[in-house]
Amino acid sequence: MNRFYSPLFSLSMEKYVAITVDVDAIAGWLGSYGGEDSLCDLSRGEFAGKIGTMRLLELFDSMGIKTTWFTPGHSIETFWNQMKKVVDSGHEIGLHGYSHENPSKLSREQESKIFDKNIALVEKLTGERPIGNSNLGGTWEKAR
C-alpha cells in the first residue's frame, strides 16, 4: 500500500489550499534583518520587489491560482506598479507592517500608527479595506 494513502481522503474530494506571499523586499532588511546598511542586501530586496514579484505573479496567473500577498507599506510605496499589477490580476493584499517592524519592540501607539498608515496605503492601492494581517518581525518573541 502507498505510504501516502489515507482512507480519510479521497481523490474525488475537493481540496482547499491557501497560498500567501510575503513581499518583504527591501522592508525586510530595514526592519528585521539588519541589512539596512548593506548594498548587497538592499539589492536583493530591490530584485525581489521588481523581478521576483512579477515572476510569482506570472506563475500564479498561468495556473489560475488566486493568492494573498502580505505586503509591507514600504514595499507598496516602493514597488507601486508591481503591486498594482498584483491587484489588477485579482489577488488580495494584506497588511505586513510598514518596514517589517518587530511588534514586540513597539508600543501600542507605534503599532496603531503603523496599522493606520498601512490600511490607508492598501485602500489607496486596492480601493478596499484590507482584511488580512500577517504578524511580522522575523521573530517568535512574545508581543507586548
Helix (H) or strand (E) holding 39: helix 39-47
Nearest CA among 42, 37, 27, 9 for reference residue 96: 27
Give the number of other CB atoms < 10 A from CB of residue 20.
Answer: 13
> Residue 8: its pLDDT value, please?
57
Q: What is the per-residue DSSP string for 44-94?
A: HHHHIIIIIHHHHHHHHHHTT---EEEE-HHHHHHTHHHHHHHHHTT-EEE
Place of cell 505510504: 3
Block means of pLDDT (10 residues each) for the chain, 144 residues, are: 53 77 76 60 77 95 94 94 97 91 86 94 97 69 49
The angle at the Cα of 78, spanning 72 to 82, to the nearest 5 degrees, equals 90
pLDDT of residue 77: 96
The pTM of the full predicted model, rounded to 2 decimals, is 0.79
Taking the C-alpha atoms of residue 97 and residue 119, their distance in angstroms, rounded to an integer, is 10
Q: What is the pLDDT of residue 113?
A: 95
* Residues 28, 136: Cα–Cα separation, whole Å: 10
CB contact set of 64 (below 8 Å; sequence gap of 6+): none
Provide the pLDDT for residue 10: 61
